[in-house]
Amino acid sequence: MDWIVPFILTVITASTPLLLAATGELITEKSGVLNLGVEGMMLIGAIAGFAITASTGSATLGIMAAALAGMATSLVFAFLTLTLMANQVATGLALTIFGVGISALVGSGFVGFAIDPLPALNIPVIRDIPVIGPILFGQDFLVYFSIFMVLASGWFLTRTRAGLILKAVGDSHDSAHAIGYNVIRIRYMATLFGGAMSGLGGAYLSLAYTPMWAENMTAGRGWIALALVVFATWRPGRLLGGAYMFGCISVLQLHAQSAGINVPSQFMSMLPYLATVVVLVIISSDYTKIRLNAPACIGKAFRPAQ
């Protein structure tokens, strides 16, 4: 049973980037905006966090830089889609292509740099409880933050006035506008939140998961985060289960490879991607469930009548 604690610990580190990015995207989508640029924002967050941490030595500054960089990227998306009413799908793809390019460009000076992994917030005494000590009390700040943000988002969407307004904007922008809410401003804020969270998700990869910079290091996690939002049927609580399930799958395939299971490594590496497809199919085939939970205005441009 010695393997179980390290296994759970790696699952947590593998799940956290997905959870952070998916939580942000969920809020963005709830406001009626579909930002497909998660992968690009994660990469930009990853390099911003890494570059700042490597040059200043401060992970705190790195994390802040990642959130700001993700936010700045999503601001470009928001300006194009919300102010200029560009197509959201195309703009999201542009964001990803741009993010891959600029992160590789900035990152080319940081390949091979080493930094200390994000320190764990070791809470004295209880951290030493066997098994649950290291799992529950020995994590780094972003792990706790990711779980806090899931809970906070759930509370925000169901228990606060602002959350209800956000959902109203996502479900019927015309009605929300008619009763006097500033649809565009609310969508800007939701999109920026999503950008910041994606940036943090990326930073988790480069600061804690690996910790290093490699070109395209997100390897599709931004897209998996998008699928997770559908999987969770736009409910934050279910994101937690979904993200940890995907974390499990990706760690299991790594373990299976190192345990010498006689399957070519490429087939094991396919598992997270295939699992995403399978999960997406299972959830999407329940049409009523999607219709009941998906924001009705998702991806649609809103132009206030003047």
Partner 1 sequence: MIRLEPRRQHSQKMVYLSPLLAIFLTLITGGIIFAFMGKDPIEALYTFFIMPINNAYGVGELFVKATPLVIIAVGLAMGFRANVWNIGAEGQLTMGAIFGGGLALAFYDSTSMFLLPGMFILAALGGAMWAAIPAWLRTRFNANEILTSLMLTYVATLILSYLVYGPWRNPEGFSFPESRPFPDAALLPIIYDGTRVHLGAVFALLIVAGGWVLLTKSVVGFQLRVVGQAPQAARHVGFRQKRMVWFTLLLSGGLSGLAGLFEVAGPIGQLQPSISPGYGFTAIIVAFLGRLHPIGILFAGLVMALTYLGGELAQIGLGLPSAVTGLFQGILLFFLLACDVLTKYRVRFGAVNKSGEAA
The contact set with partner 1 (CB under 8 A) reads: 36, 40, 76, 80, 84-87, 89-91, 93-95, 97-105, 107-108, 215, 219-220, 223, 226-227, 230, 264, 266-267, 269-270, 273-274, 276-277, 280-281, 284-285, 287, 290, 303, 306
Smallest gap, in angstroms, from Cβ of residue 202 to partner 1? Answer: 16
Smallest gap, in angstroms, from Cβ of residue 175 to partner 1? Answer: 20
When the beta carbons of 145 and 223 are compared against partner 1, the nearer one is: 223
Smallest gap, in angstroms, from Cβ of residue 222 to partner 1? Answer: 10
Question: In this structure, what token pair is assigned to residue 106?
Answer: 């900035």
When the beta carbons of 139 and 198 are compared against partner 1, the nearer one is: 198
Q: What is the 3-state secondary structure (H, E, C) of the chain?
A: CCCHHHHHHHHHHHHHHHHHHHHHHHHHHHCCCCCCCHHHHHHHHHHHHHHHHHHHCCHHHHHHHHHHHHHHHHHHHHHHHHHCCCCHHHHHHHHHHHHHHHHHHHHCCCCCCCCCCCCECCCCCHHHCCCHHHHHHCCEHHHHHHHHHHHHHHHHHHHCHHHHHHHHHHHCHHHHHHCCCCHHHHHHHHHHHHHHHHHHHHHHHHHHHCCCCCCCCCCCHHHHHHHHHHHCCCCHHHHHHHHHHHHHHHHHHHHHHHCCCCCCHHHHHHHHHHHHHHHHHHHHHCHHHHHHHCCCCCCCCCCCCC
Smallest gap, in angstroms, from Cβ of residue 146 to partner 1? Answer: 22
Smallest gap, in angstroms, from Cβ of residue 109 to partner 1? Answer: 9
When the beta carbons of 102 and 254 are compared against partner 1, the nearer one is: 102
When the beta carbons of 138 and 201 are compared against partner 1, the nearer one is: 201
When the beta carbons of 259 and 305 are compared against partner 1, the nearer one is: 305
Go through 65-97 and write b for each residue having 16 or more CB atoms within 10 A of its CB, e for each that does not.
bbbbbbbbbbebbbebbbeeeeebeebbebbbe
When the beta carbons of 1 and 281 are compared against partner 1, the nearer one is: 281
When the beta carbons of 98 and 209 are compared against partner 1, the nearer one is: 98
Contact 52, 162 (CB under 8 A): no
Smallest gap, in angstroms, from Cβ of residue 100 to partner 1? Answer: 5
Smallest gap, in angstroms, from Cβ of residue 87 to partner 1? Answer: 7
When the beta carbons of 118 and 249 are compared against partner 1, the nearer one is: 249
Smallest gap, in angstroms, from Cβ of residue 306 to partner 1? Answer: 6
